[in-house]
Structure 1
Amino acid sequence: MSETPLDVVSISGVVKRFGDFTAIHDASLTVRRGEVHAIVGENGAGKSTLMNILYGLLPRDAGTIELFGRPVTFSGPAEAIAAGVGMVHQHFKLAPSFTVADNIILGSEPLAGYGRIDRARAERDTAAISRRFGLDLDPRAVVGALPVGLRQRVEILKTLYREAQILILDEPTAVLTPQETRELFATMRTLAESGHSIVFITHKLREVLAVSNRISVMRQGRIVATLDNEGVTAQEIAGLMVGRSVLLRVKKAKAEARDEVLLKVDGLEARGERGEAAVDGLSFAVRSGEIVGLAGVQGNGQDELVECIAGLRRPVAGSVEICGTKAVADPRRNRAAGLAYVPADRGGVGLSLASGIWENLTVGHIEEFGRGPFLAIKAARARAAELIRRFDVRGATLDKPAGSLSGGNQQKVQIARELTRDARLVIAEQPSQGVDIGAIESIHRTLVEMRDAGRAVFVVSADLDEIFSLSDRILVIYRGRIVADLVASETDPETVGRYMGGLEEAPPAAAASVSEAADHVH
């Protein structure tokens, strides 16, 4: 008779409330020794909240938690760490000017005589633990100079240095290239084989199936199923997450791109916030009737590029044309030229969080409701109510401030406003960020319909699945330059990932097409 795997974590009947809102309803799950246990769910399903309770960041209102068979109640992360629980957050908590060894020992420094930090021992310990778990790192390397994948290794080693047996990884692949993701999965498997337990919080179903042993699905604060990763499909998991059947990939016919260029970027150069060259002599074109996706690891010039197109940043050199009109550093004039823009920063750029939802949905549509110096408020409110229904903006009423909505529903508000404008060029920046699977399906279908209606669609996304689902062509940006121009149906995520990580030079044909994009169409 085979031995039952040891449950190192047992969560039973946990409830968490924020005022009148119940975020976690009677949640129960177990995590076994030596397994990778994925927790999946839509945005706001309660995944991170439940794990923050386990890690001591939030108190629970009811229920019990057992660790290695003993009841625990943590009043903070320090107690959780001491008990063997470590957490790697989506946004790293590292000191970029410190070395790898300095970051790993911070707060648990080995001491020499007279209370001084024993740096030699710190570097030896860092090197030893790196070798032990196959996470090669130079202890003396400055963290700020490391690529994202290696910075994540530092975070993982921080938890292992403190002898964590249970590691919670919150959306760990969000900023990684496919190659870095593959290396992370290898690390997760190595740790599991050595007896560690990994809790993997994510919304990327393909990755869940690639690395996990068991999968717990959360929906609206409840754990609705826990499945062994044997024979289960992404479609089944998505259905459990949403409560209905969903399309994971939008259906679209082959693009019929026309010769008319609706976005033309020529020799663009722009500086970043620290004066560095963020966009470096970049050229490309997007035509009527096609969706072009921009792929790249965050921080390679995407933000500055889009801000130049939208009129939010003044370029140092080069030019942008929107529907044949030269773009300027004035968002209103660029929108008047034919631009609809869904920014990634919905709270700072896309919405007025203090204003009512109907007002946010009306901005950009004033010409439809203007009556001389007056606004046809009744008509504007009626249209806003129709958009709330059409785009399923949950918890919304016309006069409710946009800032009171969840992040995913705020995204729906700005998408509803922008994608219903009569604009020939659409820039969608991280369009599905923080949006549930059912809404992603609707957003993607709308973008494809716009393409089919002859509009030009430029999608900027950190999610390669989204890039491949939507795009007819894929541009890859690396260190402010377009390094590849690829036909989506003729490439794969692995190839795009190599360009994203700077591991592959642009072939001559691609380089030529990129350099000539401002003057020629494909």
Structure 2
Amino acid sequence: MNTDKIIELKHITKVFPAIVANDDISFDVRRGEIHAIVGENGAGKSTLMNIIYGLLQPTSGEIVLNGEPVKIDTSTKALSLGLGMVHQHFMLVQDFTVLQNIILGSEVKKGAVVDYDEARRRVMELSETYDLRIDPDKKVKEISVPMQQRVEILKVLWRKAEIIIFDEPTAVLTPQEIDEFCEIALKLKAQGKTLLFISHKLGEVMRISDRVTIMRLGKVVCTKDIADTDEKDLAHLMVGRDIELGGGDRKPVETEKQVLAVHNVSMTVGGVQKLDSIDLEVHPGEILGVIGIDGNGQEELVDAICGKAKIDGGEILLEGQNIVGKSIKQIKDMGLSTVYEDRHKDGLVLKYSVRDNLILGYQDRPQYLAKWKAFLNQKAIQKNAEDLQKAFDIRCGSLEVFAGTLSGGNQQKIILAREVSARPKLLMVVQPTRGLDMGAIEFVQDKVVEQRNAGCGVLLFTLELDEVLQLSDRIAVIHNGRIIKTVVNKNVTKQQIGRYMLGVLDDGTEEAAE
């Protein structure tokens, strides 16, 4: 085993006002390994990576690079030392081409002008070496998220980085895109690069890492060889207790009554058929999971059910009443609560307080209105916020702080608390745990199953195979805008669902409706 240390962190401490983000951090990274850093939100992972990359300075401690102590006070200095970073939120100029973004600030010159022909040749050589398959002449705004990530990788390779830091590189990727990222990471390793890899997703950590360092509350818990651990062990070390995903015990579904019935629903957007004769139903007290590769009609189906978009034909019944043509507000008042995928865009007003976000969309309900229904009952709104903060463990300094200042997990708890407290007949949750850490995922899943056990129908949209298998009573697979297979979640494998997601049915035929 290679024990050549390329980076050593010695007693790194970073103190911000009122918080110690990194507390006496020491560990090493070996040359040519993929070294994962895992921990819950707030564990100090990103702060530590920003210190290594020169974006922050430690309060105390030392970084040793290739056996020599170094002071990395800017990202430019980091790059000069062979350290590159691919940020979770990409730093690309949208109106520039891929090529222009890659070489920006580090151009090849022919005299006084940029030699784009030579730059293109070198960039394409790099692209082929690492199988990144980019189009150098496309504008960044025209390419997909995973392609933008590849541009970021090529940016650091162009600058000859030997150590590449990835900050949550798969947080915004679909399962298929995650597979592609893992292949890229392993190819980088095979070419001798050293990778530092922050992630919440323990499956991919186990899949590509050589060693893993676990952080909790700003401290290093331990560093382990991947061969000596598993996902359950890592989750326990991250959170400090056993994590049980899947929501725990559940009562059997006992009714044939339908809380939601979608019949023969079709939708065309911009001349393209997005939904094609969709049929599905949800019963009270069950979770129906809808899964498919991203872009196969899930977004349009969500929008059709909640009233955001018009359908071409068919009917959508909520407890027997047709909701087609009704407004989002009318459908909400009829008993649909929705936890949308984009919590910032559709779930919260980030510059409203936690307290006000906890009644958002329900502020006209009688319990929140005062005299003559002309004023809000501030006392009732405060009591609601206090009760929900306690029941959903919303961690905030005050109920008056802006929702935008909280972690993703706490923001999701606000939305879930608000929608569940409305006592819906149908709870529709879309990617409910995306980007959350293990503890927050467990909490959200528990609350979803709690609603199911209380008799609420739950419609779950997810891109995660693990999640659909953990939570669903039945699973509907969507492909090319059609539900091609619905199965009871009993003895179903990831491989089966994965095949259905690709449009392959049990007899090997493709894209045939059930």
Q: TM-score, normalised by structure 2?
A: 0.85
Q: Note closer, same or farther for the CA distance 1:208–1:102 as it changes in structure 2 (3 Å cut).
A: same
Letter in 2 for 1:242: V
258-267 or 77-86, which moves further after superposition?
A: 258-267
Q: Note closer, same or farther for the CA distance 1:379–1:187 as it changes in structure 2 (3 Å cut).
A: closer
Q: Partner residue of 1:213?
A: 210
1:343 aligns with 2:340: yes
Letter in 1 for 2:227: E
Q: Contact conserved, 2:468 with 2:475, CA < 8 A, in 1? A: yes
Cα distance between partner residues in 2 of 1:130 and 1:65: 31
Structure 1 residue 198 displacement after superposition: 0.7
Structure 1 residue 115 displacement after superposition: 1.5
Q: Partner residue of 1:519?
A: none
Q: Contact conserved, 1:92 with 1:155, CA < 8 A, in 2? A: yes
- List runs of 5+ in structure 2 lacking aligned partners: none
Cα distance between partner residues in 2 of 1:13 and 1:41: 18
Q: Contact conserved, 2:267 with 2:273, CA < 8 A, in 1? A: yes
Letter in 1 for 2:460: V
Q: Note closer, same or farther for the CA distance 1:116–1:370 as it changes in structure 2 (3 Å cut).
A: closer
Q: Contact conserved, 2:175 with 2:464, CA < 8 A, in 1? A: no
Cα distance between partner residues in 2 of 1:295 and 1:498: 12
Find the partner of 2:197 among 196, 200, 214: 200
Once the two structures are superposed, residues 152-200 of structure 1 have per-residue CA deviations (whole angstroms, 9 ceiling, x without a partner) of 3343233222211111122223344444433432332332233211111
- SS for the counterpart of 1:43 is coil
Cα distance between partner residues in 1 of 2:463 and 2:298: 10
Find the partner of 2:36 among 35, 38, 44: 38
Q: Contact conserved, 1:217 with 1:226, CA < 8 A, in 2? A: yes
Superposition RMSD in Å: 3.4
- SS for the counterpart of 1:419 is helix
Q: Partner residue of 1:156?
A: 153
Question: Once the two structures are aligned, what percentage of the paired residues are identical?
Answer: 40
Q: Note closer, same or farther for the CA distance 1:102–1:398 as it changes in structure 2 (3 Å cut).
A: closer
1:231 aligns with 2:211: no
Letter in 2 for 1:246: I
Cα distance between partner residues in 2 of 1:278 and 1:321: 22
Structure 1 residue 414 displacement after superposition: 1.6
Structure 1 residue 59 displacement after superposition: 3.3
What does 1:128-139 correspond to in 2, within 5 Å? 128-137=125-134
- SS for the counterpart of 1:431 is coil
What does 1:182-331 correspond to in 2, within 5 Å? 182-253=179-250, 256=253, 258-265=255-262, 266-269=264-267, 271=269, 277=272, 279-281=274-276, 283-288=278-283, 289-296=285-292, 298=294, 301-315=297-311, 319-327=315-323, 328=325, 330-331=327-328
Q: Contact conserved, 1:37 with 1:200, CA < 8 A, in 2? A: yes
Q: Partner residue of 1:86?
A: 84
56-65 or 93-102, which moves further after superposition?
A: 93-102
Structure 1 residue 314 displacement after superposition: 4.6
Q: Contact conserved, 2:339 with 2:419, CA < 8 A, in 1? A: yes
Q: Partner residue of 2:388?
A: 387
Q: Partner residue of 1:71?
A: 69
1:420 aligns with 2:421: yes
Structure 1 residue 37 displacement after superposition: 0.5
Q: TM-score, normalised by structure 1?
A: 0.84
Q: Contact conserved, 1:311 with 1:329, CA < 8 A, in 2? A: yes
229-238 or 98-107, which moves further after superposition?
A: 98-107
Letter in 1 for 2:48: L
Letter in 2 for 1:284: D
Structure 1 residue 349 displacement after superposition: 2.9
Q: Partner residue of 1:407?
A: 408
Once the two structures are superposed, residues 181-238 of structure 1 have per-residue CA deviations (whole angstroms, 9 ceiling, x without a partner) of 3343233233223321111111111221121111111212222221121231212211
